[in-house]
Amino acid sequence: MAGNSSITRFGVSIPTDLIESFDSYIRKRQYKNRSEAIRDLIREKLVAQEWEEEHGERIVVGTITYVYDHHKRELVDSILDIQHAFPDTVIVSQHVHLDHHNCLEVAIVKGRPKTLKDLSNRLKALKGVKHCTLTMTTTGATLS
Ligand code: NI
C-alpha cells in the first residue's frame, strides 16, 4: 500500500434505484459506509486493469489454487516439472492432503500477467487436475 495519500472528496449524481441497490450490496458485505465500498470497487477495477495489460512489463501477484488426484503419481512429477520451469515465478507453494484421494496446493506467484496465466493454464491442462483457479491481486505498489 502506498502511504501518505491525501483524501479527495467528490460528489456523485446517481439514479435513486441504483444507489438503493448499491446500499443493499454494501449492507450484505458489511461495509460501514459507501466510501469504503466505493474505494474497494475502484481498487478492484485498477487491479483488473493491471492484469489486462498482458504484454506489459508490469509485475503482478496472484495465487494459483488447484486440486488434484493424489493417486496419479506421474501427475505429481508433472506438477513439479511445471513449477521448476517457472523458478522465478513461484514464490512458495503449500500442499494440503484433503482426503485419501485429493490434494490441494496453493502457489503464490509473481511476475508478468501473461507468465502467470501461462503457468496456471499449464497446470489446469494436466489430466487429473480437477480444478485450478488463478486469483489476481496486486503488489500494492500502485494502489493506496
Ligand atoms: Ni497430498
Q: Which three cell numbers stand for residue 65?
A: 489454487
Whether 103 has a binding-site annotation, put simply, is yes
List residues, by chain if needed, whose CB lies under 5 Å from ion ligand 1. 70, 97, 103
Give the pTM: 0.79
Cell 491481486 -> residue: 137
Q: Which three cell numbers stand for residue 100?
A: 485419501
Residue 103 near residue 65 (C-beta atoms within 8 A): no
> Over its length of 144 residues, how does the chain's per-residue pLDDT go in tens digits?
455 579 999 999 999 999 999 999 999 999 999 999 999 999 999 888 888 876 677 899 999 999 999 898 899 999 999 999 999 999 999 999 999 999 999 999 999 999 999 999 999 999 999 999 999 888 888 777
What's the 110 CA to ligand 1 centre distance in angstroms?
24
**CA–CA distance from 105 to each of 64, 78, 90, 130, 131 (Å)?**
8, 14, 12, 12, 11
